[in-house]
Amino acid sequence: MEKLEESHGVVVRWHSFELRPKDSPPLPPEYKARIIAGRPQLYATAQEHYGLTLNQGPFGIDSRPALIGAKYAEQMDVGPAYHKAVMHVYWEEAKNIEEVEVLADIAASLGLNRMAFMDALDSASLEKEVLADIAQAHEYGINAVPSMVFADKYLVSGAQPYAVLTRVVDQINKEQQG
């Protein structure tokens, strides 16, 4: 998304979504095998279109702590940096973002008070914000990560080549000019 922000002036607003909510039933083996089989294509797309070498963190984790941490980081005006750091440690450093210590290290690296951040992870009001985002995602019919909604109108699901995203933005710009 950074590339799109820079090239097209897009403003990204992150919202919470849990691909595998805590206490979800186990994935059927054949579905998990399909996901694993699709990783080479995902990794190739990331490298070819975004220059990223992926080294994905553990599969099937509880992302709720990271999502609550994001809400706190947003309140502290470091939301974009937090999102970028969480994505980096999970997708490139293969760290487990379910682990509170991993998240607290990220928060501290951004200048947040470590203990205040850890306390915020137990915040009922922040969790309520996360749950509201998740409900909105379900209303949009989102069922993939990543998913992007452009201009509250266009849903793009899954890891897509950069050209797909620029076409969507260009279409929106044409609509707004016409």
Confidence label for 178 from pLDDT (cuts 50, 70 and 90): confident
Give the orientation angle of helix 79-91 with respect to helix 100-109, to 10 degrees: 130
pTM for this entry: 0.87
The predicted-structure confidence for 25-79, as pLDDT tens digits, reads as follows 888 999 889 989 999 998 998 899 888 999 999 988 999 999 999 999 999 999 9
| Boundaries of every domain in the chain | 2-140
Q: How many residues does the chain have?
A: 178
CA distance linking residue 105 with residue 103, whole number of Å? 5
CA distance linking residue 156 with residue 53, whole number of Å? 22
| Average pLDDT of the residues in 73-92 | 97
Q: Is 102 within 8 Å of 66 (Cβ atoms)?
A: no
Strands (E), the chain: 147-150, 154-157
Q: Which CATH superfamily is domain 2-140 in?
A: Glutaredoxin (3.40.30.10)
The predicted-structure confidence for 110-155, as pLDDT tens digits, reads as follows 999 999 999 999 999 999 999 999 999 999 889 888 899 999 889 9
Tally of CA atoms within 13 A in the half-sphere of 5 that contains its CB: 6
CA distance linking residue 122 with residue 68, whole number of Å? 8
